[in-house]
Each structure stands twice: as structure tokens, then as C-alpha cells.
A = this chain, B = another copy of it.
Amino acid sequence: MKPLKEMTKEELLAMKESLSAEYKEAQSKGLKLDMSRGKPGKAQLDLSLPLLEALSAKDEMMASNGMDVRNYGVLDGIPEAKLLMAEMMDTTPEHIVVFGNASLNIMYDTVARGMITGFLGETPWCKLDKVKFLCPVPGYDRHFAITEHFGIEMINIPLNSDGPDMDMVEEYVNNDPAVKGIWCVPKYANPTGISYSDEVVKRFANLKPAAKDFRIFWDNAYCIHHLYENQQDEILDIISECEKAGNPDMVFEFGSTSKVSFPGAGIAAFASSVANIEDMKKSMTVQTIGHDKMNQLRHVKFFKNRAGLDAHMMKHAALMRPKFEAVLKVLNDELGELEIGTWIVPRGGYFISFNAMEGCAKAIVQKCKEAGVVMTGAGATYPYKNDPMDSNIRIAPSFPTPEEMAEAAKLFVLCVKLVSVEKLLEA
């Protein structure tokens, strides 16, 4: 096969005819597959079942600080859970607050706190005429949903293979005091799978924000979520880099065990400077008496430490790898020479990001849907669900089985080809 753009109209028409026939046949199969969300598969959930036995009625119900984990109290997490989450997030326990079952909730509450009380004595954002966040794109739809919910203006920043376009980030952050935050997924980014280079992390740490209360929202969701034992991305610890750069309070980091233990019943953590944590606790103490310490202790007893987490993540990797490889093989085999799409081969995380020809993403997702394969909505990876190029599609291979995944990927590439041919014929 040659690149589609080099084909004659006749070749394209012939191709359209045979692809349409293939698509009709695929439709008749009655597929029902979901590649829309980064949801662990059943076999992954089974890996953590022993967690349920890690805290039993026969155990001492005491945290290492002597607190009964069943009772009220301990706003910021039991010490051993702080240590575990610190090890997971490559920081130290004094930087950690352990929360409930979802880091998304911490992010929402943190933006809400910016709006309502402000950070470290600065004016609450709700009192300002304009608040802006930078959004590296493509990115995570639930981040953008939070900032949109609070009426914060979102500005697209291109995400390169080593991180966001830092010239543009510096230009905005260092000059515009209305820019109060940036959403980052620094490792195995959602959806592109790239990790930030050391240079990018250092440039982040050395920002000179026009706004004193500018914060980097560092969603380290995939910090230990490697696909391979020997090819692993590593990123610098943003908290210590910010300290070194004299910006200790500039970052809010988020992490969770949602894709380590159970998505519905894990533990989540916030990491930041001691000053930010003290500031946050002033609101937290009004909001809650404390999070689920029994689940914190259960996690510590099961995972023990970073080595325990890493070993567990390799079991996840063994289940995830075949699914990723199934998709990548189909993409490579079927689209490799056609030049109608690009994708990055990730070494971790939960997604493969596919860039179709401009103006094709919505039509591809729609065609997939009509043949029984649900993808993340086209545009979802951009603020306001608006992908200006209508090009990016997020593929989430984790939930189906590898066999289902190969089947779904075949339908996907068929739709990519069909929509691309139609697009070229229109032109």
C-alpha cells in the first residue's frame, strides 16, 4: 500500500467501495465493546482481592501513632499511609495528606478552595474578574470539566513529546496574573502516554509567576503504572525541584491507588509544601473529621512499601501489555503505510492517543459507535470538548480482553480508513 494522499481518485473510489463492504459486514457482527474509559479489567481487580483480608477482625486496630483507626480523628492520614503514599509519589511523608478514595475529588476540592478561600492569604478567585488555567492538549477531560465547572477560562497549550510547550507556558505564567494554574499529567500523560523530560520539569520549577497564587496542578496519576519491567519512564520530583528553585509553594501534586488496588475503593493523596498543607488543613478541618483510616491501614498492610507496590504493578503490566500490543500491532499493520494517522507507543499509563487526518475524528468515533465499539467522544481530550483540528482520539485498551481489543482495533482502523478516504474524495 502507498500513502492515501498519493492515490488517484479512481483508486480512492475503489478503496471506498471495498471498505464500505467490509464495514457493512463488521456492523452485522453485532459487536459491543467499550474502549471509552481508562477502567481496569476484571483480572486486574482480582489482583487486589487479598487486600480484603489484609485487615481482619482479629487485628489490632491501631495506627502507628496509637490512634484507633475505627474512630474519629486524624485529619491528614495515619503515619504509615503517609509513608506509603510518599514512597509511591517519590516524596517524603511531611509533604503528604492522605484522603479518601479519589484524587479527582481532591483536585475538585483544591480548585474549590482557590475559588472560595484562596491560597496562603491571596484573594479568593471568585472575587476576581477573570481566572485562567493553562491546559496542555490533548489532556484529561475530567480536569477540564472541573475548571469549566468553576467558570475558569481554559487556554490550550500544545503538548510535545517531552511535555508542554514551555516557551508558551513561561510566556503566559510569567506575564499574566490571571493565569492561576496549569493541569499536568507529567508521567505517561493522559492520553498521549508521554513523560515530561528533566528539562521541562526544571523549567516548571523555575517559573516566575506573575500571580503569587499560581499553582501547578501535577496529577501524577500514573507514577508507577509502567507497561514494561525494563523500559520505564522516570521523571524528576517536582516538589524538590520547586524547593531548589525557591518556589516551594508552587505545586499541588495528586496521586492515588485507584489503578493500583481498586478504582472504587483505593486511597488518594495530596502532596505539597508544608505551608500549603497547613493552609489546606484550615479548610479541611471544617469539611471533614477525617478520611477512612481503616482502608488506609488495609492498604499499608497489603502493599507494605514501594517495593510491594512495584511488584504489584508488574502484575498489572502483565495484564495490560497484551492489550496495548494488540492495538499497536493492528494500527501498525493496517495504517503503517497509509499516512492517515499518527500515534505514540507508550511505555505506561492507560491510553494510546491517535491523531487522525484533520477533520476526521468525530466521524471516525461515530462510525465506530454505529458498529458497536464505543470510543471516548472525539474532542473530549480538549477544553470545552473542542478539538480545533478534530483529529485526536483517545483509545483506552484496559477494559476489554486482548482478543476483544484486537477485534475492536480492527474495526477502529477500518473506520479510520473509510473516513479518511471519504475526506480525501471530498477535497
Which one, B37, B61, B288, contacts A102 given CB within 8 A? B288
Contact, CB under 8 Å: A288 / B55: no
**In the complex with contacts A57-B52, A265-B292, A287-B105, A45-B72 CB distance below 8 A:** no
Q: Would you give the 0/1 interface string for A72-110, flagging 1 where the beta carbon is closer than 8 Å to chain B?
A: 111000000000000000000000000011101100110
A287 to B106, CA, bound (A): 8
A70 to B262, CA, bound (A): 5
Chain B residues lying within 8 Å of A71, measured Cβ to Cβ, are 39-40, 45, 262-264
Q: Is A334 an interface residue (CB 8 A)?
A: no
Chain B residues lying within 8 Å of A328, measured Cβ to Cβ, are none
Contact, CB under 8 Å: A61 / B45: yes
Interface residues of A in 99-129 (CB under 8 A from B): 100-102, 104-105, 108-109, 112, 115-117, 126
Chain B residues lying within 8 Å of A289, measured Cβ to Cβ, are 102, 104, 142, 263
Q: Is A19 an interface residue (CB 8 A)?
A: no
Q: Is A26 an interface residue (CB 8 A)?
A: no
A258 to B70, CA, bound (A): 10
Q: Is A6 an interface residue (CB 8 A)?
A: no
A177 to B116, CA, bound (A): 22
Chain B proximity of A26: nearest CB distance (Å): 27
Q: Is A2 an interface residue (CB 8 A)?
A: no
Q: Is A235 an interface residue (CB 8 A)?
A: no
Nearest residue, chain B, Cβ from A282: B149
Q: Is A367 an interface residue (CB 8 A)?
A: no
Contact, CB under 8 Å: A49 / B57: yes
Question: How many residues does chain A have at the interface if contact means C-beta atoms less than 8 Å apart?
Answer: 54
Interface residues of A in 115-147 (CB under 8 A from B): 115-117, 126, 142, 145-146
Q: Is A295 an interface residue (CB 8 A)?
A: yes
Contact, CB under 8 Å: B102 / A145: no
Q: Is A69 an interface residue (CB 8 A)?
A: yes
Contact, CB under 8 Å: B57 / A50: yes
Chain B residues lying within 8 Å of A56, measured Cβ to Cβ, are 52-53
Q: Is A12 an interface residue (CB 8 A)?
A: no
Nearest residue, chain B, Cβ from A117: B149
Chain B proximity of A150: nearest CB distance (Å): 7
Which one, B70, B145, B286, B293, contacts A286 given CB within 8 A? B145
Q: Is A212 an interface residue (CB 8 A)?
A: no
Q: Is A198 an interface residue (CB 8 A)?
A: no
Q: Is A290 an interface residue (CB 8 A)?
A: yes
A69 to B288, CA, bound (A): 24
A361 to B112, CA, bound (A): 38
A112 to B42, CA, bound (A): 36
A71 to B39, CA, bound (A): 7
Chain B residues lying within 8 Å of A50, measured Cβ to Cβ, are 57
Interface residues of A in 227-284 (CB under 8 A from B): 258, 262-265, 283
Q: Would you give the 0/1 interface string for A395-420, flagging 1 where the beta carbon is closer than 8 Å to chain B?
A: 00000000000000000000000000
A146 to B284, CA, bound (A): 11
Q: Is A68 an interface residue (CB 8 A)?
A: yes
Which one, B101, B112, B117, contacts A100 given CB within 8 A? B101
A149 to B116, CA, bound (A): 9
Residue pairs across A and B with Cβ atoms less than 8 A apart, 11 shown, are A45-B68, A52-B55, A53-B57, A70-B262, A100-B100, A100-B101, A101-B291, A105-B287, A109-B287, A115-B116, A116-B150
Given A39-B71, A52-B55, A72-B264, 9 further pairs, Cβ under 8 A: A45-B71, A53-B56, A104-B289, A112-B112, A116-B126, A126-B126, A146-B286, A264-B291, A265-B292
Chain A interface (Cβ within 8 Å of chain B)?
Answer: 37, 39-40, 42, 45, 48-50, 52-53, 55-57, 61, 68-74, 100-102, 104-105, 108-109, 112, 115-117, 126, 142, 145-146, 149-150, 258, 262-265, 283, 286-295
Q: Which 6 A-B pairs have the closest CB atoms?
A: A49-B57, A265-B294, A108-B287, A72-B263, A70-B262, A45-B70
